[in-house]
Amino acid sequence: MRLDKYLKVSRLIKRRTVANEACGLGRVQINGRVAKASAEVKEGDELDILLSGKHVRLKVLSVQEHALKADASGMYELLPEGNA
């Protein structure tokens, strides 16, 4: 699944256009590398997101085309920020 779509479906970022802009500004990394919005996300990947002064590290647990609001947080696991 595309990175920008994953960020929207998992509700990490509210709108896909905002996710696309964040990727374009180099604020999203997959496994330690700056990623474009079109980069593929798969289970087991680690994402680093810097948005609005917040730094979030997470591990992708599942990739789904659609997710209900209640199920969206189950698509990832938050990681401690220590080893960025």
pLDDT at 81: 76
Q: Is the pTM of this model over 0.85?
A: yes
CB burial readout 42-61, b (16+ within 10 A) else e = eeebebbbebeeeeebbebe
Averaged confidence pLDDT in the chain: 93
More confident residue, 19 or 81: 19
Sorted by where each starts, the structural domains of the chain and their CATH numbers stand as: 3-78 (3.10.290.10)
Summarize the confidence of residues 15-24 as an average pLDDT.
96
pLDDT tens, 34-73?
Answer: 999 999 999 999 999 998 889 999 999 999 999 999 999 9
